[in-house]
Each structure stands twice: as structure tokens, then as C-alpha cells.
A and B are shown apart, each in its own frame.
Chain A
Amino acid sequence: MNFLSLYVLIPLLMLGALWACRNTRQIRGVMAAGSSALLILSIALVFLYIAGRRAGNTDSMLFTADTVWYAPLNIHYSTGVDGISVAMLLLSSVIVFTGTFASWKMSYQTKEYFLWYSLLSMGVFGFFISTDLFAMFMFYEIALIPMYLLIGIWGSGRKEYSAMKLTLMLMGGSAFLLSGILGIYFGSGATTMNILEIAGLHNIPFDQQCIWFPVTFIGFGVLGALFPFHTWSPDGHASAPTAVSMLHAGVLMKLGGYGCFRIAMYLMPEAAGQLSWIFLILTGISVIYGAFSACVQTDLKYINAYSSVSHCGLVLFALLMMNATAATGAVLQMLSHGLMTALFFALIGMIYGRTHTRDIRELGGLMKIMPFLSVCYVIAGLANLGLPGLSGFVAEMTIFTGSFQHADPFHRTLTIIAAASIVITAVYILRLVGKILYGDPVNPQHLKLTDATWEERLSVICLITAVAGLGLAPWWISRMIGESVLPVISQMIP
């Protein structure tokens, strides 16, 4: 165990402290302190990591530590980070931090809400720091189940249905995933569960890979909104409370992409090469299909959820292109999509909290009523459609450039189709912005509403800063990720 375990310990401490809390003020104090601590830890980690690389450390993972857990089954609690996980940890802590402030005013069963919230974040962090198949899977599932209660209790709309559907579909995915993990473990000779060691062994027979790769990929793909397993996402996001949507779309869906890359593709590169075309078609469909679906939705959250389907499809799409540039783009896209979709959901939550409707037909002229939120919404929209200077551009361009390095017509066509999504994205984003922000207020009741409060501003500004920071100065993070995808990519290119 090393300092990376703080990522699990801090949420654990938060759980304990929340348990002891007596009133809302204490709860808020604990959450603010805990999430800030996580954010500071992540920022420190970024610096430590970069310093470690500067110092010439060329291991594929830094800060590795290993504690034997279940010796007979080769299950260890082993941790380590590379550029990708550092980026994901940063993303997660930013979103946990902002999500805390976005749900600052939570009044119904506050303590329970934050308990589950902290448990969820523990799962997320644990997943990203782990390098052991079992531990990863465990943290993955820890992150899934609080979702049921968070949506079911604190959600809105058809919350029970959505929560159940989301949980069951994701658990269905994890059924695939578990099979895949077992397949990998036994396929590689059942000597270790450590990803790095399995990758080092590189001994899973090809015919077994051809079974376990699709299984694992679908397992993670369900969470990564792979067509046609994405249908939990619109309902789930629509019903979830603000911070949960943020965390779910912002971080949890990234678990899917990260897992596909780190487990499915890293450990079974030959099968990935052989079978990528199937999933490329599916993800290609996701990209376009999500974007088109978003065009005609009338619920703000549904629009964003379909947009997430499209963008997360792009993540998997890029990963399957299997070259360093596209993979870097995929990670950047995870980062970028995580931040901007969290921003979106935060804003939608804040608007919904005031107007009590998310139907775009009942909204209008919000720019006049709540200028701060509206401007931020426009910024989020622009980030979503890939405006240079914001994060979306960086990620998408890296993906398209990377994808275009394949010269065959199949990959080319798919790349062009995927690139077409940026136009459709523009269509639905502008439709939305034009409809709800511009124009005159449609509902006179809305004129009384107020603009954002300080904690909402804090949360939103924090996210915008991250989106713009990534968009304006992408080189360092792109390099950091680019170095880290190489070990994985080099496995795939014989």
C-alpha cells in the first residue's frame, strides 16, 4: 500500500465521518473537506507523476504497490497509475468535488445521500488505481450499486423504473465482464491477476482470446454505452439527481472505456485486432445514432444522455482504431466528455431545480432570467460541439487524426461517418440553446427565478475552468497520455 490507497481511504473516512454526523452542517463540512482532499490529492498526483516521468522512470506504471490479499487465488490488492489513470483520477476528483457542491442543498435524507455518494466515489477511485483484475472488478461493482439507491430515492420522473433498468443492465454487463475476467485469468495460466503481469506473460491462446475479448468488451461496453446496450443511459440519466448524473455520465461511463482499453484490449491484443471490426461498426452506429436521437428529444437530460451515447461511442470507436494517436484521443475524449457532460448535467440540474421542468417546450428565454447559468450552458454546448479552445476539440481532433491513420476503406468510411457526428452535434446543441436560452421567457412564472448561488457557481466555474484548461493547454496531458498508451498499443501492433 502506498499513498494511492488514500483514494480509497479518504472516501472510507468520509463514510465513517458521515455516519457520525448529527446535522446538515457537519455533513456538508465532511463532504467539502473530503472532496477537496481528493481533489488536492489528484492535483498532487499529477505533479508527482510528471516529476516521476521527468526523472526518467519508464515503467509502464508508477507508484506501484502490492499487498497479497487472497494468496491461494492470486488475488492481490495492487495499485499503480499511468498517465491514463492519472487523468481519470483527476477527472473523477474534479467531478466528485463539483458534484458535492452541486448537491449542496440536498435536503431529503442528506446523510444517506452522501453516504452512498461517497461509496460510489470510492468505487470509482478504487477502480482507477487498481491493477488487479479482481480488485478492479470489485471496485467496479461497488461503484454500480449505490447508483440504484441514489436514483431510486433521490431521482425524479420514472425513477424506480430507470434505476432498476440501469442497475440490471449494468449488472448484466458485469456478468459478461466477470466471465471475461475469469477467462483471462485461466487463459493466462491462472498464475496472476495482476494486469501488468498478465500482459507481460502475453500467453492467452488466440482461440480463447476470441471468446473472452468480445465478452469482456461487451461487459465494459455496456457501461460505455455501446450500441445496442446503451438504453439504460437515457432513462438513467434523466431520472438521476444532479450530482449522480454528473458522476455517472462524467466518471462511471468512463470506467467502461478505461476497462475496454486496460483489460480487454491490453490483455487480448490479438483478438482485439481480429474482432475490432464488429465493435467498430457498433460504435460507429453509437456515434451517429446517439447524435441523431438527440436531435428530436424534448427532455434536456435525454438530449444530453443521447449526446453522451454519441460521445462515449466515440471513445470506444477510437480505442478500437488501435493506434497510439487514436487511443490518446479516446482518453482525452473520456476526460473531455466527462468534464463537459458533468457541466451539462450540473446546469440542467440547476435549471430544473428552479423551473421544475426539463421539457424544452416549456422553457425559453432563460438567458434573461438566469444569465450566469445560461452563459455557462452555452459554454458547455460549445465544448460539446467541439469548439477550439475547449476540451472537445482537442479530443475529437486527436481521435479523427488517429483514426485516419488507417488507409483501408473500411476504417476511412467509419471515420468519416463518425466525423459527421460533429455536424449533428451542432444541430442539436444549437437547437437546444436557441430554444431554452434565447428568445423571450415563455412562462411568466419563471421571471421570478434567481440566478446561481455561490456553491453552484463554484461547482460550475470549477468545471468550466477544467474544460477550458484542457482545451487551451492540451499538450502536457496529451503527452502524458500518449506515453502511457504506448505499452498497450505496442502489444497490439506485432
Chain B
Amino acid sequence: MDYSQFLHIRSEISLIAVIMSLLLFDLLAGARMRKYFQPLACLLMLLQIGINLTPGRSAYLFGGMYVHTPMMTAVKNILTVGTLITFLQANTWLKREDTVFKQGEFYVLTLSTLLGMYFMISAGNFMLFFIGLETASVPMACLVAFDKYRHHSAEAGAKYILTAMFSSGLLLYGLSLIYGSTGTLYFEDLPDKITGSPLQIMAFAFFFAGMAFKISLVPFHLWTADVYQGAPTQVTGYLSVVSKGSAVFALMTVLIKVFAPMISQWQHTIYWIVIATITIANLFALRQQNLKRFLAFSSISQAGYLMLGVIGGSAAGMTALVYYVLVYMAANLAAFGVISIIEQKSGKIETADYNGLYRTNPRLAFILTLALFSLAGIPPFAGFFSKFFIFMAAFQSGFHVLVFIALINTVISLYYYLLIVKAMYINPNETPIAPFKSDGYTLISLVLCTGGIVAIGIVSAIYQSIHALGYGL
């Protein structure tokens, strides 16, 4: 056995090391040392990002079980940055009385899901894929139910784990059918044996449904809003960005690698699902009062846009998709950062509570505005560029009408994003949220996100470096 193969999975190994060291720290650190938990976690994440950044080359490892390409490393790195930002934002929340003693669990569980995503992305075999998927989703349930004394958190956790199990049951059923009709689970070997027979179509449908559940595409999205609302806000942010991004990328790699012979079928499926997702999510988002719920529907509709990058199955689509995930991460985490800090400081989470926010907390309101504008795709913020590129990719693949429908939907989405902006700037309020000072970690995270929102679009080098990574399968 060639042990140098392990060098190629250094990302995963180092992540496991990070998890282990955090576990040990949690176990061994005394009460006085525990306050250094967050800096330590963040430092380790920085280290992890550094390791991810070391150049590597494409490789098939362990007999094709594990695939490594620069594009995948880039995606992993984006997810890691997202996790780091989530950690930074967790400061105030984790200092709370009922969470301070279990902050180690938060880091370890979050990183475990990240590890799962790493494996899911790099999988070259459905077995590893499935294990990665489950590693990513099982600890997530714990995270969702993290605030265990809170009724809503528990309810959201139950909903998440039950629906996740149900969906993985169906996904597995699909996988079993694929296995039954082809006799292999290796991505390399599968395309030759996929013929598009009715059995395989059914298998594909079940597999797709399972993935759509993770990405929260309509009609597999129904858990999303409830879980997002009930989960702790940091977890919601993580769920909406990192979990979703990894699942979309993984789905795209599987679709391209495995289901390539069925391209017309899955394009058809995605076509209708995108329309349904964007439209229905937008319609739902119109009437939401709870900001977390609102962002849940917004993230569902964003997932629809993400699928526009997938639908073409092209290199341009993949580049646009990864870029979109990056931009979406910056914007959505900025929004969640603001919302969570406000929730922690004032306990308010309804749109109406945000009335007049600009007068009392202008900086936060401004950052949230930028984030919402970016989500809505307003230039010069990065969201505009990512939307443009993803539309371009879908358009290039010939989905003109679909792009048009998506574009019309951006108008609806603009409406509800502007509602929040309107609340902050225009609506009068007798009792606005009192001014407060945010903690340093949150500020750093918000600065990072804002910088991302502003710079990722205008600085073309970022897109070009993703583009340079190529198709990356």
C-alpha cells in the first residue's frame, strides 16, 4: 500500500486532528483555561485553512474510493472559512449561562459535520458518499437541538432528525436500486452501466430527493423553515450556508460523474424543481415576520439559484456555482451575524422589531443592508456578480426560459429584502432596539463578511482563481 496517499487526504486528517485536540482540550482544560476555547478553536481553524491552501494535485486514492482535485479543496476551504466565521459569531451565544459549559461540544459537533462534508465532497464511491452525508447530518441534529432547554430547539431537532432519517432511508433505497442494477458503487465504473432504465430512473429520483432534502429544494424543503427557526441562530447560519453549499457541490459532482448518461433526465428534473423552488420559496418569504424563518425561505430560493449552476453540468456552471457559494456565504453569514448578535443582546427576532434600527445601531443596520443587497443581487456587491455568472452559465446551456423565470423571481426576492431594509431605515418606531456594543469576535466576523461582500465581486482574481481550478471532478 502506498502510504503517500494519506498525504492527499491531509485536509481530512488535519481536521480530525483539530477535532481531537478540541475534544482533549474540552476534557482536560481547567475552568480558567476554558475561556480560551474560542480563540483556540479559531486559531486551529486558521491552521486548517492554511493546510487546505497548500497546493495539491488531482488524485484518485484508495482504489477510487477517494477523489482529490484542487476544485474540491477549494470548496472545502470555502466551507472551512464559513465554519470559522460561524465560530467567530458564536461568542456571545456560547458565553450564555446554559451554553457556556458545553461550548466544546459545539465546536466538536460542528467540525464533525464539516468532516462529513469533506468526505462527501471527495467521495469516489457511494459508500463513502453516504457515510460523509450522514456524518454531516447526524451531528447537525445535535446542533439543532443544542439549546436543549428551549422548547423550539428540541422541536426543531426532532423534526430535523426524523425527516433526515426518512430522507436518508429513501436515498439509501435509491442507492440500493442503483447497486442492484449496476453491481458497483464506484463513481468511475457507474456511468458505463447507467442506461436510464425505469429502475434506475426510480433510483435516481430517490437519490435526488435525498440530496434535495439536504439542499432544501421544493418540495423537499418543508423542514427547512421550522428547523431554521428553532435552531440556535449560529447553527442556522451554518446550516444555511456550509451544509447547503457542500450538498450542492456534492450533488453536482455525482450528477456529472455518475448520472452523466441520464443528463437529459436530470436536467429536466432540475428544470422544474428550480422553478418550483424559487417561486414557492419567494412566495413564502413574502409573508414571514420572523427573521430566521424569513432567511430560511430566502435561503431556499437561493438554493434554487444555486441549482442553476448545476443544471448545465458545465465547467462554467461549476465555477459559477462555487463562486456563488462563496458569495452567498459572505452575505448570508453577515446577515445571520447581525441577526444573532441582535437576538443575543435584545432577544428580538421579528421584522417589526427592526423598525428604526438604523437610528440606534447604524453600523449593524448598514451591514445587514449590504448583506441583503448582496443576496438580492444588487451591484456593486458580490451577489450581483455571482447571480450574473450563474445566470450566464445556465443561459449558456440553453435554459433561456428558466433564466428568465429566475430573473423575474429576483424581483420578488428584492421586494422582501427591501422590506427589511425599509424596516430598518424608514419605518418609525417608538421603542427601537437599544444601542449596544458587539463583542470583538462578532465584529471581526462581520468585517470579514462585509469585506467579502464588497470585494469578491469587484476583485476578479477570486473568480479567476476558481475558474483556473477547472472542471475539478
Contacts and interface: CB of A to CB of B under 8 A. Distances in A.
A69 B460 contact: yes
B400 interface: yes
B378 A141 contact: yes
Given A72-B467, A175-B408, A179-B403, A167 B414 contact: yes
Contacts of B316: 72
A109 to B, nearest CB: 9
Contacts of B463: 70, 72
Contact of A168 (B380, B415, B425): B415
Contacts of A420: none
Contacts of A75: 460
Interface string A161-198: 00010011001100110110011011000100000000
A332 to B, nearest CB: 30
A259 to B, nearest CB: 16
B422 A160 contact: yes
Nearest to B378: A145
A73 interface: yes
A71 B388 CA distance: 15
Contact of A72 (B414, B421, B464): B464
A142 B379 contact: yes
A190 B398 CA distance: 13
A258 interface: no
B411 A171 contact: yes
Interface in B431-473: 460, 463-464, 467
Interface string B371-404: 0010000111000100011011001100010011
A317 interface: no
B413 to A, nearest CB: 10
Given A73-B392, A145-B378, A171-B414, A178 B460 contact: no
Nearest to B403: A179
A125 interface: no
A13 B392 CA distance: 32
B116 to A, nearest CB: 32
B319 to A, nearest CB: 7
A138 B380 contact: yes
A152 interface: yes
Contacts of B319: 72
A72 B396 CA distance: 14
A152 B396 CA distance: 37
A175 B425 contact: no
Contact of A175 (B380, B411, B415): B411
B426 A70 contact: no
B194 interface: no
A160 B427 CA distance: 9
Interface residues of A, number: 34
Given A72-B319, A73-B389, A182-B392, A168 B403 contact: no
Interface in A51-72: 69-72
B60 to A, nearest CB: 27
B146 to A, nearest CB: 37
A348 to B, nearest CB: 23
B263 interface: no
Contact of B400 (A73, A141, A183): A183
Would you call the interface of chain B mostly helix, strand, loop, or mixed? Answer: helix
A486 interface: no
B464 A152 contact: no
B122 interface: no
Nearest to A139: B379
Contacts of A153: 425-426
Contacts of B400: 179, 183, 211
Given A175-B404, A182-B392, A186-B396, A138 B418 contact: no
A178 B411 contact: no
Contacts of A148: 418, 421
Contact of A190 (B384, B396, B407, B411): B396
Nearest to B394: A182
Contacts of B11: none
B410 interface: yes
A164 B421 CA distance: 11
A178 B388 contact: yes
A149 interface: yes
Nearest to A179: B404
Given A70-B460, A141-B378, A167-B418, A186 B410 contact: no
B422 A175 contact: no
B380 A142 contact: yes
A232 interface: no
Nearest to A123: B379
A160 B464 contact: no
A142 B400 CA distance: 25
Contacts of A179: 395, 400, 403-404, 407
B410 A171 contact: yes
Nearest to A142: B379
B411 A164 contact: no
A134 interface: yes
Question: Which of B410, B418, B422, B467 has most A Cβ within 10 Å?
Answer: B418
Contacts of B410: 171, 175
Nearest to B404: A179
B92 to A, nearest CB: 28
A225 to B, nearest CB: 18
Among A73, A145, A164, A211, the most chain B Cβ lie within 10 Å of the Cβ of A73
A172 B411 CA distance: 6
A211 B398 CA distance: 14
Interface in A68-127: 69-73, 75
Interface in A17-66: none
Interface string B286-298: 0000000000000
Contact of A141 (B379, B404, B407, B411): B379
Nearest to A138: B379
B364 to A, nearest CB: 15
18 contacts: A70-B460, A72-B319, A72-B463, A75-B460, A138-B379, A138-B380, A139-B379, A148-B421, A149-B425, A159-B426, A168-B414, A168-B415, A171-B410, A171-B411, A172-B408, A178-B407, A179-B407, A182-B395
Given A153-B425, A159-B426, A182-B395, 14 more contacts: A70-B463, A138-B380, A149-B421, A152-B426, A167-B414, A167-B418, A171-B411, A171-B414, A175-B408, A178-B407, A179-B395, A179-B403, A179-B404, A190-B396
Interface of A: 69-73, 75, 134, 137-139, 141-142, 145, 148-149, 152-153, 159-160, 164, 167-168, 171-172, 175-176, 178-179, 182-183, 185-186, 190, 211
Q: Which 3 A-B pairs have the closest CB atoms?
A: A175-B407, A182-B395, A138-B379
